[in-house]
A and B are shown apart, each in its own frame.
Chain A
Amino acid sequence: MSIDIDTARKVAHLARIKVAEEDLARLAEQLSGILTFMEQLNEVDVEGIEPMTSVTPMRLKRRADVVTDGGYPEKILSNAPDAREGFFAVPKVVE
């Protein structure tokens, strides 16, 4: 599987990483190299094998769906690049 420049551009956008147009060719080449390496997996017979979902056979822990934490908005906001009046601030979103 080889990735062309258009696919590289699309993947970068899906990943929300800005990649300059002139860097796309090199990125496509590197991603293609990695995918070629992954293609060894096609040699393995995986017929009837369930995908592994957890390392130890245990059920994920459950708890009652109740509030167990919170009440400190100033701590939540303390690391924000832009916080105003108790909220995270971002550029205007109009959809």
Chain B
Amino acid sequence: MSLNQLTIAEARDALRKGDATSVEITEACIAAIDGADALNAYCAKTPEIALEQAKAADARIRAGDAPAMCGIPVGVKDLFCTKGVTSQAASNILAGFRPEYESTVTQNLWDAGAVMLGKLGMDEFAMGSTTESSCYGPVVNPWKVDDRKRAPGGSSGGSAAAVSADLCLAATATDTGGSIRQPAAFTGTVGIKPTYGRVSRWGVIAYASSLDQAGPITKSVRDAAIMLGTMASVDAKDSTSADIPVPDFEAALTGDIRGKRIGIPREYRVEGMSDELAKFWDDGAAMLKDAGAEIVDISLPHAKYALPAYYVIAPAEASSNLARYDGVRYGHRAHLAAGDGIVEMYEKTRAEGFGPEVQRRVMIGTYVLSAGFYDAYYNRARKVRALIKRDFEQVFAAGIDAILAPATPTSALELGALNDASPVEMYLNDVFTVTLNLAGLPGVSVPVGLDGKGLPMGLQLIGRPWEEGDLLNQALVLERAAGFTHKPAKWW
């Protein structure tokens, strides 16, 4: 086993015992990254920064001052602003952008001694389920069962692919409608989207501010607990950061879920669900039951409206957030013709800089917010959102501790599979994940097995607000019972 294959927990213990140094682990990751260009997971490599940070981490470990993430090499989704290092949200409109500041999440990681290996590919502005809308080209899923290349999921596809292929020990990611959990499920990794407000959004390039939340993609549930604990903080720079202290999530991992009540939402058993997926779901419930949990049939009556509500609210917020890309302060500016004024500059810059899906979402958002349609679409969607959230509140008030559901309708799709799909067909990928973004709840995706094609499948646990510790403990039980230890066979 080489050092880049370690989990965070294994590396932490090895570093503290002196069995390995951060420089050695970092060098192993850099070598793995350099041998994996075929995956296109990294859009920017920062080996010099990594080795410098690793040396500093080793000094800190020797001095006995070593937080859990100290010396751990990680990848960073391109959505996070990193000082002096290109941060483009995988968009041409931010071509060449090098922030003068550091996002709170990455600063928390560096303060804890973590090591930055580089920036990871994603869908442009986090809008997509495949990474195919990235200006750097698609990331390729390390899982390959025939001659076809598969998508790693999205939008955090680079993060998931890099973790799955051992090109880092873990990675930062973000989730607006499923962008942590879906790629984690597609790559056999663990991904947690925390409660809205748990992790600061400051310095994370905004897509839909009331839905965006950062979290880790990792190789194990324990690693997710460790890394989330470092990413999370109460931050005065994010007005929606909650004044709730960050607990020790790892300490919650007791493996004991006796007496917990796990809900199975009947509305998630959607029409056309494959027998295979239904069986993974049933088996997952049986595993939790065997561990002493009580399985309860529940109803979330408004769940079927989550997808249309999401595709009103997220584009509306995106159209507002992305108004800042105007060719004035940063990024791309179109070449102007003689006589072009400022409006032509805006229109040409945005037409050249934004890809087709981003353009569509900005325009849909503009439409639903425009005079005469605001009430019919946007306000109605926000009312439906309130009902979706109320469904969950009623279930939790009735004593349910967590909800078990599929993470994705299928295993990883081939790259290009959605080329001829309409936008709406593409959006159906998010059917199991968007609901909890609307409600602000935490959710974790755990790999539970391989499907008939030999590709990983994940299940999703949805928790009570601010109870990520409990949620991760349930995820740990599921992880242990499922015993998923598969890794993609190296072909790259």
Contact = CB atoms under 8 A, between A and B. Distances in A.
Interface of A: 3, 7-8, 11-19, 27, 30-31, 33-35, 37-44, 46, 49-56, 58, 60-61, 63, 72, 75-76, 78-82, 88, 90-93
B409 to A, nearest CB: 17
Contacts of B309: 41
B377 A91 contact: no
Contacts of B333: 81-82
Contact of B210 (A55, A76, A91, A92): A55
Interface of A (DSSP majority class): loop
Interface string B306-338: 001101100000010001001111111100100
Contact of A55 (B312, B351, B440): B440
Nearest to B312: A38
A18 B329 CA distance: 20
B363 A51 contact: no
A55 B365 CA distance: 20
Interface stretch (B23-31, B341-349, B470-478): B341-349
Interface of B: 96-100, 195-197, 210, 236, 239-240, 242-243, 302, 304-305, 308-309, 311-312, 319, 323, 326-333, 336, 340-348, 350-351, 354, 359-360, 362-368, 370, 377, 379-387, 389, 422-424, 427, 439-440, 465
When A and B form their complex, which 10 residue pairs have the shortest distance between CB atoms, in order from nearest? A55-B440, A51-B382, A81-B333, A79-B330, A18-B347, A46-B383, A52-B386, A18-B351, A55-B196, A16-B346
A91 B342 contact: yes
A75 B196 CA distance: 31
A56 B359 contact: no
Contacts of B236: 61, 63
Given A80-B329, A91-B336, A91-B340, A31 B440 contact: no
Given A11-B367, A81-B333, A52 B424 contact: no
A46 B330 contact: no
B363 A52 contact: no
23 contacts: A7-B367, A8-B363, A11-B363, A11-B366, A12-B363, A16-B346, A17-B363, A30-B423, A31-B363, A35-B377, A38-B308, A38-B377, A41-B305, A49-B383, A52-B382, A56-B197, A56-B242, A60-B239, A78-B98, A79-B96, A80-B328, A80-B329, A91-B336
Contacts of A13: 347
A61 B239 contact: yes
B224 to A, nearest CB: 21
Given A17-B351, A88-B328, A90-B345, A34 B311 contact: yes
B118 to A, nearest CB: 20
Contacts of A27: 360, 363
